[in-house]
Amino acid sequence: MRKTQIHKFGGASVKDALGVQNIADILRNRLRNNFAIVVSAMGKSTNQLENILSLKLDNKDYSKNSTILKDFHLSVCKELFPADHVIFPKIENYFIQLHHELNKPLTKDNYDEYYDRIVGFGELLSSRIVMEYLCMQNLLVLWQDARELIATDSDFRFAKIDWAKSRQNCQSQLKPKLEQFPVLTQGFLGADLNGRPTTLGREGSDFTAAILASCLDAGSVTIWKDVPGVLNADPKLFSDTILFSELDYQQAAQMTFYGASVIHPKTIKPLANSGIPLFVKSFLNPDEEGTKIHSQAKSAPLPTIILKKEQILVSLKVTDFTFIEESHIHQVYAQLQTLKLRVNMLQTSAISISIVIDSQLFKLEQLLRSLSQEFDVRYNEGLELLTVLHPDMDSLPEYLEDYELLLEQQTRNTIQVVRRAK
Ligand code: ASP
Ligand code: MG
């Protein structure tokens, strides 16, 4: 029996009607049984749902935003389907459900759980549209609710996978279907043990593909992107980028750790553990090779540039004329752990600790509040963290010109700077 292939299509690949048609073209000669398709929300729908939530939280009117979101999905469907197609009442129905959820009270305290009930509509809508379109094109696929497969804990917005249960679900529910037909499901979504919807963290659909691959002992995962594969820098930000034809799992994982957004950071580990190759390919040029990430890649180290935006530099100074000791660092890390904030860079001096974190709603004020008794706390927002792996010293100044540098760190293979445009 052929091993399952998993194919993941992200938001950019389904951002409009042409995108959905292109998926059908890509799948036309590839589709077979033992083939699972994972799709994200269309375009920026998840951001729009987040905006609706923040308006709701501030007791502001979100009806215009939800109408825009609905009209967007309906207009995509008008280009794809005849006017009497079943997709139209289905979309109406999802929006009725969405409004029903949004009529429930939202506070800062129930925000995370509420968020997971709302933002998942993006994936529910897109997966329905893509599935109906494929079927209309005689590419018969079954629709599967990912929340019946991906079992998680109740850590809303950042849910952790219950691997044993997810595997059991995939083997008992998904595998028998896959033996008959290709199956299409949503990325990003899961459910806790009480059946409450959860999400796996923003951009988590790649991770969904890897979870399904691991739970099904799949043969490969392919992530279809708007770039030719994994490049040594983001082509939207830097010119003269070079494509990696292959990478080993470790190199790829390291790049995602520093913030390369081409693959979600959690994607590599489950694939590496099971030796499942990951292909990153362009949905614009589907016949090109792209990048193969596997265990035996033989690529020479290339200077690789990774830029993380929306960074906050927090400086914590001891106030009582002592020096920084382990207990201070421990205290800071304990708070970061409680708030589920990851440190992107850390530096200590005799009297201060500097940390660089992602900008996240509510989190900064909570962090400042909890640490301000012990430390004199200062912060700078709106910064960029630039990481260069295997730097080429001659071209380095290019990335630093016109910027004010707030923090720098260098090891043998890595340079990191926190910068702000002058
Ligand atoms: N739609 C979700 C997001 O935008 C998940 C994903 O795209 O992978 O974060
Ligand atoms: Mg997305």
pLDDT in tens, 385-417: 999 999 987 777 777 888 999 999 999 889 999
Domain edge (last residue) among 204, 225, 246: 225
Q: Whose CA is nearest to atom 3 of ligand 1?
A: 203
pLDDT given at position 227: 93
153 CA distance to ligand 1 centroid (A)?
19
Question: In angstroms, what is the span from residue 84 Cα to ligand 1's centroid?
Answer: 30
Residue recorded with tokens 């987040």:
50
- Which sign does the torsion angle of CA 314, 319, 321, 325 carry? negative
Which of 38, 123, 202 maximizes ligand 1 atoms within 8 Å of its Cβ, making it the mutation to test the pocket?
Answer: 202
| Alpha-carbon distances of 170 from 56, 100, 183, 208, 277, rounded to whole Å | 36, 30, 12, 12, 19
pLDDT over 90 at 300, yes or no: no
Tell whether 98 is covered by a domain.
yes
Domain end marker among 193, 225, 257: 225
Q: Do both 191 and 310 map to the same domain?
A: no
Is 246 contained in some domain?
Answer: no
Same-domain pairing of 102 and 200: yes
Q: Is residue 288 part of a domain?
A: no
Picking from 302, 308, 278, the residue whose alpha carbon sits closest to that of residue 386 is 308
Burial 258-290 (b: 16+ CB within 10 A, else e): bbbebbbbbbbebbbeeebbbbbbbbeebeeeb
pLDDT-based confidence at residue 239 (cuts at 50, 70, 90):
confident
Residues 182, 93 share a domain: yes
Residue 238 pLDDT level (bands cut at 50, 70, 90): confident
The proportion of the chain whose per-residue pLDDT surpasses 70, expressed as a percent, equals 100
Q: Name the average pLDDT for the chain.
A: 94
Same domain for 336 and 214: no
Q: Which atom of ligand 1 is nearest to the CA of 206?
A: 8
**pLDDT band of 129, cuts 50, 70, 90:** very high
Q: What is the CA(401)–ligand 2 centre distance, in A?
A: 32
Domain residues for 198?
5-225
One domain for residues 330 and 213: no
Query: Regarding predicted confidence, which is higher, 216 or 373?
Result: 216
What separation in Å is there between the alpha carbon of 120 and the centre of ligand 1? Answer: 9
Q: What is the pLDDT of residue 165?
A: 98
User: Is the pLDDT reported for residue 298 higher than 90?
Assistant: no
- 158, 202 contact by CB (below 8 A): no
pLDDT over 90 at 418, yes or no: yes
Mean of pLDDT values over 331-339:
92
CA distance 321 to 72: 59
- 122 exposure class (CB count in 10 Å sphere: 0-12, 13-18, 19+): buried
Which residue's CA lies nearest to atom 8 of ligand 1? Answer: 203
Nearest atom in ligand 1 to the alpha carbon of residue 10 is: 7
Ligand whose nearest atom lies closest to the CA of 40: 1
- Mean pLDDT along residues 310-323: 90
Q: What is the pLDDT of residue 401?
A: 85
Minimum-distance ligand to the CA of 201?
1
If asked whether residues 172 and 52 sit together in one domain, one would say yes
Asked whether residue 291 is domain-assigned, the answer is: no
- Does residue 305 carry a pLDDT above 80? yes
CATH number of 354's domain: 3.30.2130.10
Q: Are residues 321 and 186 in the same domain?
A: no
From residue 298, how far is each of 65, 295, 316, 394 by CA, in Å?
Answer: 49, 9, 43, 25
**Does residue 145 belong to any structural domain of this protein?**
yes
- Shortest CA distance to 24 belongs to which of 132, 122, 121, 123? 132
276: in domain = no
- Of 195, 210, 225, the one marking the end of a domain is 225
Residue 393 alpha carbon to ligand 2 centre in Å: 35
The torsion angle over the Cα atoms of residues 317, 320, 324 and 327, rounded to 10 degrees, is -110
Determine the atom of ligand 1 nearest the C-alpha atom of 47: 4
User: Do 321 and 221 sit in the same domain of this protein?
Assistant: no
Q: Write the CB contacts of 205 (distance below 8 Å, at least 6 apart in sequence).
A: 8, 10, 38, 39, 40, 123, 186, 187, 188, 264
Distance 43 CA to ligand 2 centre (A): 7
Residues 325-345, mean pLDDT to the nearest whole number: 90
Domains of the chain: total = 2
Atom 6 (ligand 1) nearest CA: 203
Q: Can you tell me whether residue 108 is helix, strand or coil?
A: coil
Residue 8 CA to ligand 2 center (angstroms) comes to 11
Q: Is residue 206 domain-shared with residue 57, that is, in the same domain?
A: yes
Residue 203 alpha carbon to ligand 1 centre in Å: 4
User: Which residues sit with their C-beta closer than 6 Å to ligand 1?
Assistant: 10-11, 40-41, 46, 122, 187-188, 202-205
Q: From the alpha carbon of 203, which atom of ligand 1 is closest?
A: 8
In a domain, 200, yes or no: yes
pLDDT digits (tens, 9 = 90+) for 165-223: 999 999 999 999 999 999 999 999 999 999 999 999 999 999 999 999 999 999 999 99
| One domain, residues 205 and 314 | no
Q: What percent of the chain has pLDDT over 90?
A: 82
- 141 domain residue, yes or no: yes
pLDDT for position 325: 87
User: Among 203, 226, 264, which is best to mutate for testing ligand 1, by the most ligand atoms less than 8 A from CB?
Assistant: 203
Averaged pLDDT for residues 56-61: 96
Q: What local confidence, expressed as pLDDT, does residue 281 receive?
A: 97
Residue 201 Cα: closest atom of ligand 1: 9
pTM exceeding 0.75: yes
Among the listed residues 420, 318, 409, 297, the one whose alpha carbon sits nearest the alpha carbon of residue 371: 318
How confident is residue 321, by pLDDT bands cut at 50, 70 and 90?
confident
Here the CATH number for the domain that contains residue 96 is 3.40.1160.10
